[in-house]
Structure 1
Amino acid sequence: MPLELFLDLLSQPCRSVYIFAKKNNIPHEFKKISLMEEDHYGEEFGKVNPMRKVPAIRDGDFCLSESVAILMYMVDKYKTDDHWYPADLQKRARVNEYLAWQPMGIRMHGSKIFWINIMVPKIMGRGVPEDKKKAAIDDLNGSLKMIEEKFLQDRPFIAGDQISLADLVAIVEVYQPVGGGIDVFEGRPKLSAWRDRVRQEVGPALFDEVHKRILGAQEMVKGLDASKMAASKRRFLAMFF
């Protein structure tokens, strides 16, 4: 029985799980969950993940949430190539270091830009104050600098010469503000070169397929009915006020 992947490719963690499963030819069934249409509040998905968050997987009777836990489960179950989560103690520690840093280090800042530029005008009918926009961009720039100077340094990839889980988790986060209209690669040759290496290792067709939805988010959001997005409005209010 294939692994069931409950994903919305607008979500950064969902994209990392999808890329990993596809790249490693892991037998799976893609179960689309639309966050914009609030599918995650449906009764059936609640049985898979009572926390109502994606990504989530179902492997027979076993259900699991949280992207990092899911990625490691797939590494162990399907015995993927060592470079994804190296056996070498120090290389693995580099992967773990990034995975531990990224939820507060980059995800919240990249997500905030996406919300400010795409979601807020749709849901609230007005923009975010300029001082909040500037603060969010400053935070994002600080995180991108940290990826370049701390996590990449002069290495091709975060853990060394080969791609790892850390690079997958990083690239999807870096692309979230791009979907919000901010070109994070402009003026950052090191970050751009790393992106190109990750894209090549993943495979350009798969990489572009996975990011197509987030890069088209501005057009997609125009067709949404904001009156039906009560949960998204609550999320926005909790994020900014």
Structure 2
Amino acid sequence: MTATLKIFVDHLSQPARALSLLCRAINAPHHEKHIQLLKGKDASNARGKEAEVAVGGEHLRKPFTDINPFKKIPVVQDGDIVLLESCAGLRFIASKYDASGVWYPGKVEVRSKVDEYLDWQHLNTRAHGMGYFRNKVLMPSLKKCEPDMAVVREHEKELQRVERQFARYFLGPTPFITGDQVTIGDLLAACEFEQPLAGGYNLSPPIREFITRVKEKVGPDYDEVHTYMRQLAKKCLA
């Protein structure tokens, strides 16, 4: 089967990792096009103007901006279909390529719970997980400055709330968001929680156990896809 599906990713990005892992988990024929958010720079060694260049990566320049004028990753392209939003991309790939119907369930009552998390996470898991990582790890390293700990602590406080709400409402007594089956909602949630974890945030036991369950469902690709982000965080914090 000739692969028409392309995903434009950088594994520094949480939703980009989720897209890569979904494609691998369901054996979707696809091509991964890696777009360097940091322009190939070593973020831990960038200084002054170099730091400004480092954050001005390939997503801000042609030819990528011809594909996505919003200058964001990830992007999903399949023939004439181009999707610039990560959750739309996850839904599309799971709907078209997952023959099992597990990752984005067809039953509307079940699917609605996945959609509910995908809508909720933007201003919760995403906002504060990446907010913590960006302000604690990435920008201080790029700018060679101390982190603004007031901002870091605010994201930390909000992450604690997010953890409680995710564990109590979205999981409850079940292993995954919809019950016993892993879905794209769980995959994205795990990738989002990995970001502050790599930055030194102490995730609560229920969230760590949840990540372990997702990892077991995905297999060895899970750690492989997270390697770059984890190594970069370790280098920035050194």
TM-score, normalised by the number of residues in structure 2 = 0.86
Residue in structure 2 matching 1:208, options 223, 229, 233: 223
- The answer to whether the Cα contact below 8 Å between 2:22 and 2:94 also exists between their aligned partners in 1 is no
Q: Please state how far the C-alpha of 1:120 moved relative to its aligned partner.
A: 2.2
Aligned to 2:107: 88
Q: Report if aligned partners of 2:35, 2:58 keep a CA contact under 8 Å in 1.
A: yes
Post-superposition CA distance 1:23-80 (Å, at most 9, x none): 1111111111110110111211112111111101222343221111111111232243
Query: Does the residue aligned with 1:161 lie in a helix, a strand or coil?
Result: coil
Whether contact under 8 Å (1:83, 1:164) holds in the other structure is yes
CA displacement 1:98-134 (0-9 Å, x = unmatched): 0110000110100111112212212333223332222
For 1:11, the aligned partner's letter is S
Task: Name stretches of at least 5 consecutive residues in structure 1 with no aligned partner.
Answer: 223-241
Secondary structure of 1:83's aligned partner: coil
Measured in 1, the distance between the counterparts of 2:229 and 2:81 equals 30
Query: Which residues of 2 match residues 1-241 of structure 1 at below 5 A?
Result: 1-2=2-3, 3-37=5-39, 38-184=57-203, 188-203=204-219, 205-219=220-234, 221=236
Sequence identity, in percent?
Answer: 33
Mark the CA change 1:47 to 1:107 in structure 2 (over 3 Å): closer, same or farther: same
One-letter identity of the residue aligned with 2:221:
L
4+ residue stretches of structure 1 with deviation over 6 A?
none
Contact 1:4 1:58 in 2 (8 A): yes
Whether the 8 Å contact between 2:190 and 2:210 is mirrored in structure 1 is no
Q: Distance in 2 between matches of 1:181 and 1:193?
A: 17
Give the drift of 1:176.
0.7
Kept in 2: contact 1:178–1:215 (CA 8 A): no
Alignment TM-score, normalising by the size of structure 1: 0.85
> For the residues of structure 2 that align with 1:87 and 1:96, how far apart are their CA atoms?
12
SS in 2 for 1:108: helix
Measured after TM superposition, the shift of residue 88 of structure 1 is 2.2
Q: Tell me the secondary structure at the aligned position of residue 216 of structure 1.
A: helix
Aligned length in residues? 219
Q: Which segments of 5 or more consecutive residues in structure 2 lack a partner in the other structure?
A: 40-56
